[in-house]
Structure 1
């Protein structure tokens, strides 16, 4: 074995000082090549794969999954092989890694609602053609049977730690343990079969439904046999329901960053709100017409409703630029920004994030749709970068996807305003002097009262509502 070298957690940029170990991609005893990812860590910005600059055999991990490591602190040690090539590399025989054999399975499709709400985990992704890191149980394997590709070689599969399966966080592993769920037989819906919290909750739910009749009978028989042999005091104790245990969720990573920004926004920004109901019937009809196939030629690129609302916002911000600003507290100045970098709120398994469309004011509805689709796809594939999650100047929050009419969202610090969009529901509405059933949406604006008064905020919101009710008015601003 060659010289043992220590690899420290590198500077991950964006001023980050620490990271949490999510999962080890290599186990102790595995071989690695130069610049091969060895661990996934969660920072305050994203889930990041960390490559190792050495080739050799992994001799130790500096922390367990769920532990925190500071930038510059030891992360992993590697016994460097002579010549810098990892033993078992392409030039040596018999040392091929289990996870690098066999075809790569196609990823399970994930669904994103038409509203643009993203329900995914985040990461840095991987080069095309990369093999999966975990050898999970094949379909039909017995309850006590090890995966063949791992057991035949006598070593844990790549992507596991001491034979464990890859999960998105220690909290997911604990949730499975509390419900008696065996993770080794599960294939997750995340990248490379990564098991998410939603996968565990679904398996628990399905297990309860499938096993309820049999378990009830077995439990009744076991309780009867046990109670007959127990003294009265013990039997009384056994019949008492177990007290619920409190759950503690660490405010770290992206969840912790979001919590910090929420608290800072509330502490620093004197926010106020206003809202209005708008008839979105004509907007929905205009979108339908935009997406209708033409009589000849290729069909046009689809335009999403969220992109149309984003286009309305950028047009309104050109008329009310005070709302596209930030406050320089040290200089005691309002900084009106020339570009609109439009963020859209997205709820994920790791908390609330806001992907940002750069220079949204220069984009058409079709281009906005394409950019939002790109960011959504990048999020689904785990390729969103910290730069794509920061730098927004105005945020669009589509909370209507949760089936609610209104909300009072917290401003995304250090921005000055956020437009909220509720669900679009069929409601009675007065059209002229007649009562009709229309598609109605509630729009709300939360704004920093330091940058404008109620007249400016109300004028912006009314202008947005007018464009929703009469989309043709946008033509005057194009």
Structure 2
């Protein structure tokens, strides 16, 4: 029988994902739990397995396409007989299957694959049969069931959307509204459009050719343009999605019309989706929720650079990368133990500050798909070689785009290494749910006063942003001072650990 695998939620409470790459094509034989597709959610790239044995009969979404949760993406012909319910014999097994979530584990077992397939199939009710008739409107189709947005974490639902029937003319097919390009021009009927706010008009551009121009404007704006004698087809909209606003019309009525088009190659449009979309939303929410304060500290890290050089010669570090970031991370962990309130979060609902006596250390990583902040779980309990190994693994996974959602959840404090880009410092925005983030700038040679004499030293700048609801100026200053003191003299890490 033919089975259709629907895009699952993968346990993240998301409503859509982008098809990144297919690992199967029509005609391929697939096995249970075989990875058939990679998808990019708003958090990371996730590999999805197929829950059946069979032959791929069709791919129902293209690479690069964004697909809603619950929509079929691949069809497989299986040897399993239908159980009479239309769902196949595996539905019972799928409903009973358990196991950890696919996204949290980074890999999906047999039970999870069945569970995902069951959830995907049951998430969106089947649409009504073709040809159904809406009561009271003989000859017209029934309202189409369409997806409606709901709260994140509650999946998606379907609902009935009623569309106003098109008006028909006795002498021909239905026509869309036509906006004249200038007072009293010859009107040429336009092709009907689905969106009544987007009206298409046509005007002759040659003896036998028509030029089609799309205008995105609301009805009140179109009426205003008509009253003021403004040609909407000559305007460049400043509203959402390039729509024309009332201000655009007034500006055109008072002066020369703005340039409506650009030459080829002057602009590039990049869709905001996936990781980049989630990062943007998280940063906006953080910036306008937590009152940010940023403090700066410039310090001499010559001794830290010497310590990094010596650590590289120790056999325990032979298989890991030792960099200044390793000692910065160790200093942050040590300072967080000395000042626990810096490692906390604000619970708005309970009106409480949650102080965490463990540290999940986040490391901001730039990837081709956007910024991700995976974290090292229980970093406070790791030895220095173990911390170095985890930093290396985390960085490689992020650069490969394989960071799983579970690796980005539950962070408590973050480091962003802007120095790798040749930047001295910045004012970092808090990772949502955390009280502090430390920016580590580039290390460079600078003149420095040592024992009353001028010398060339290795100097860097630290910037600490913190949530001023939790961290006051004193606590932020003490924490930043301690991190700086340990980087100026790494022996302090031993004394304070």
Q: Structure 2 length normalisation: TM-score?
A: 0.61
Q: 1:75 to 1:309 in 2, by over 3 A?
A: same
Q: CA deviation at 1:472?
A: 1.3
Other-structure match for 1:30: 28
Q: Please say if residues 343 and 354 of structure 1, whose CA atoms lie closer than 8 Å, have aligned partners that are also in contact.
A: yes
1:475 aligns with 2:494: yes
Q: Please say if residues 372 and 398 of structure 2, whose CA atoms lie closer than 8 Å, have aligned partners that are also in contact.
A: no
Other-structure match for 2:334: 315
1:254 aligns with 2:275: yes
1:287 aligns with 2:285: no
Moved more, 24-33 or 404-413: 24-33
Q: CA deviation at 1:255?
A: 1.0
Q: 1:421 to 1:298 in 2, by over 3 A?
A: closer
Q: 1:39 pairs with 37, 43, 49, which one?
A: 37
Q: Please say if residues 46 and 404 of structure 2, whose CA atoms lie closer than 8 Å, have aligned partners that are also in contact.
A: no
Q: Please say if residues 302 and 366 of structure 1, whose CA atoms lie closer than 8 Å, have aligned partners that are also in contact.
A: no
SS at match of 2:430: coil
Q: Please say if residues 125 and 383 of structure 1, whose CA atoms lie closer than 8 Å, have aligned partners that are also in contact.
A: no
Q: 2:480 pairs with 461, 464, 478, which one?
A: 461
SS at match of 1:268: coil
Q: CA deviation at 1:70?
A: 2.4
2-structure distance, mates of 1:298, 1:442: 27
Q: CA deviation at 1:386?
A: 1.3
Other-structure match for 2:116: none
Other-structure match for 1:387: 406
Moved more, 379-388 or 51-60: 379-388
1-structure distance, mates of 2:467, 2:364: 18
Q: Please say if residues 290 and 302 of structure 1, whose CA atoms lie closer than 8 Å, have aligned partners that are also in contact.
A: no
Q: CA deviation at 1:299?
A: 6.2
Q: Structure 1 length normalisation: TM-score?
A: 0.63
1:421 aligns with 2:440: yes
1-structure distance, mates of 2:485, 2:271: 44
Other-structure match for 1:74: 72
Q: Which has the higher helix share?
A: 1
Q: CA deviation at 1:266?
A: 0.9
SS at match of 2:420: helix
Q: 1:439 to 1:78 in 2, by over 3 A?
A: same
Q: Deviations over 1:153-205 (max 9, x none)?
A: xxxxxxxxxxxxxxxxxxxxxxxxxxxxxxxxxxxxxxxxxxxxxxxxxxxxx
Q: 1:126 to 1:8 in 2, by over 3 A?
A: closer
1-structure distance, mates of 2:459, 2:399: 31
Other-structure match for 2:297: 276
Q: 1:339 pairs with 352, 358, 361, which one?
A: 358
Residue ranges of structure 2 left out of the alignment (5+ in a row): 83-104, 110-261
Q: CA deviation at 1:337?
A: 1.0
The size of the alignment, in residue pairs, is 323
Other-structure match for 1:214: none
Q: 1:443 to 1:298 in 2, by over 3 A?
A: closer
1-structure distance, mates of 2:20, 2:456: 51
Q: CA deviation at 1:431?
A: 0.5
Q: CA deviation at 1:453?
A: 1.2
SS at match of 1:315: helix
Residue ranges of structure 1 left out of the alignment (5+ in a row): 85-122, 128-240
2-structure distance, mates of 1:32, 1:302: 40
1-structure distance, mates of 2:318, 2:353: 45
Q: Deviations over 1:70-103 (max 9, x none)?
A: 222212111224699xxxxxxxxxxxxxxxxxxx
The residue correspondences of 1:329-408 to structure 2 (distance < 5 A) are 329-380=348-399, 383-408=402-427
Q: Please say if residues 320 and 392 of structure 2, whose CA atoms lie closer than 8 Å, have aligned partners that are also in contact.
A: no
Q: 1:448 pairs with 467, 487, 496, which one?
A: 467
SS at match of 1:289: helix
Q: Please say if residues 303 and 365 of structure 1, whose CA atoms lie closer than 8 Å, have aligned partners that are also in contact.
A: no
Q: Please say if residues 56 and 81 of structure 1, whose CA atoms lie closer than 8 Å, have aligned partners that are also in contact.
A: yes
Q: Deviations over 1:385-411 (max 9, x none)?
A: 211122110001110000011111111
Other-structure match for 2:6: 8
Other-structure match for 1:189: none
Q: 1:413 to 1:424 in 2, by over 3 A?
A: same
Q: 1:263 to 1:366 in 2, by over 3 A?
A: same
Q: CA deviation at 1:272?
A: 0.7
Q: CA deviation at 1:334?
A: 1.4
Q: Please say if residues 362 and 414 of structure 2, whose CA atoms lie closer than 8 Å, have aligned partners that are also in contact.
A: yes
The residue correspondences of 1:207-218 to structure 2 (distance < 5 A) are none
Other-structure match for 1:140: none
Other-structure match for 1:266: 287
Q: Please say if residues 33 and 108 of structure 2, whose CA atoms lie closer than 8 Å, have aligned partners that are also in contact.
A: no
Q: Kindly name which structure, 1 or 2, has the bigger radius of gyration based on alpha carbons.
A: 2
Q: Deviations over 1:285-309 (max 9, x none)?
A: 1222222258xx9969664321211
